[in-house]
A = this chain, B = another copy of it.
């Protein structure tokens, strides 16, 4: 019997690397057994929320892609950084200069972007050009007190054609150049997990996070009082199991195996 799987009422699932492996062309392929695993979670009566740092597309496009792969998922079930950032921008009257993926821009449609007083950086992918980085840098360094908001702080992720630098690397470049500390919206920020839990209506003690990122998924969720599993898919690397600070409540080979164990304990 797996002690870590007891008394669960809700699951938070990371998406990229857990449900599917993303492809360089914006597509990707489902990870074996994960379509069926999502279906089984929903049939079980467990609460479910998808908790992603994906910022290469609007939630609509992202969900459409996943539905096309066969996943039972809707926009209302997804917690993502861009909508959370928009709430913060509005609350603090911040007008962003955006360094994000083209497909994410429409998430900021209602935000005033004239005469920017902050920079918002996401996983801009091909938009991480030398010119665009210099431009974001100049906006920041020109502020009396630079404000940098980062949609996640991932180091890298895996696409079908190999590992790619994630937003966190470029965040660090701007932090260093401007001697500023970014405010992270998305995993592993505590507030981000807490809003996902609130949307699901489950306290952290009764929730399990399942992800492939030892720091942003596992470490972040555990700091909120949740249990957290690392799957051996996506960006998982064997050396993650020797991480100096973070130890998952369990390792599972993939989402399907995690769901098997959890459903047996219900």
Residues of A whose CB lies within 8 Å of any CB of B are 125-126, 128-130, 133-134, 137-138, 141, 155-156, 162-166, 168-170, 172-179
A142 to chain B, nearest CB (A): 9
Pairs A–B under 8 Å by Cβ, sample size 15: A128-B130, A129-B129, A134-B162, A134-B165, A137-B156, A137-B165, A137-B169, A138-B163, A155-B178, A166-B177, A168-B177, A170-B173, A172-B173, A172-B175, A173-B173
Q: Which residue of B lies closest to A156 (CB)?
A: B177
Residue of B whose beta carbon sits closest to that of A179? B155
Out of B133, B137, B163, B172, name the residue touching A172 (CB < 8 Å).
B172
B165 with A169: CB separation less than 8 A: no
Given pairs A125-B130, A169-B174, A172-B176, 11 additional interface contacts (CB within 8 A):
A126-B130, A129-B130, A130-B165, A134-B164, A137-B156, A137-B163, A137-B164, A165-B177, A166-B177, A168-B177, A170-B173
- For the residues of A in contact with B, the DSSP-based class is helix
CB distance from A99 to the nearest CB of B (A): 12
Residues on B with beta carbons closer than 8 Å to the beta carbon of A133? 128, 165, 169
Cβ contact within 8 Å between B163 and A169: no
Instruction: Name the residue on B nearest A161 (C-beta).
Output: B134
Q: How far is the CA of A168 from the CA of B164 in the complex (A)?
A: 20
In angstroms, how far is the closest chain B Cβ from the Cβ of A17?
16
A155 CA / B173 CA spacing, docked (Å): 9
Q: Report the bound CA distance from A126 to B134 in whole Å.
A: 11
- A141-B126 in contact given A155-B176, A177-B156 (Cβ < 8 Å): no
CA A99 to CA B15, docked complex, whole Å = 33
How far, in angstroms, from A73 to B89 measured CA to CA in the complex?
52
With beta carbons under 8 angstroms apart, the residue of B130, B141, B174, B176 that contacts A163 is B141
A217 to chain B, nearest CB (A): 17
Contacts of A134 in B (CB 8 A): 162-165
Nearest B residue to A142 via CB reads B163
Instruction: Compute how far the CA of A176 lies from the CA of B152 in the bound complex, rounded to whole angstroms.
Output: 14
B residues less than 8 Å from A165 (CB atoms) = 130, 133-134, 137, 173, 177
Task: List the B side residues contacting A166 at CB < 8 Å.
Answer: 177
* Bound CA span A218–B125, Å: 37
Which B residues lie within 8 Å of A130 (CB)? 125-126, 128-129, 165
- Shortest CB distance A168–B (Å): 6
Q: CA A148 – CA B121 in complex, angstroms? A: 25
- Give complex CA distance A168, B162 in Å: 25
Q: State the CA gap A170–B170 with chains docked (Å).
A: 8
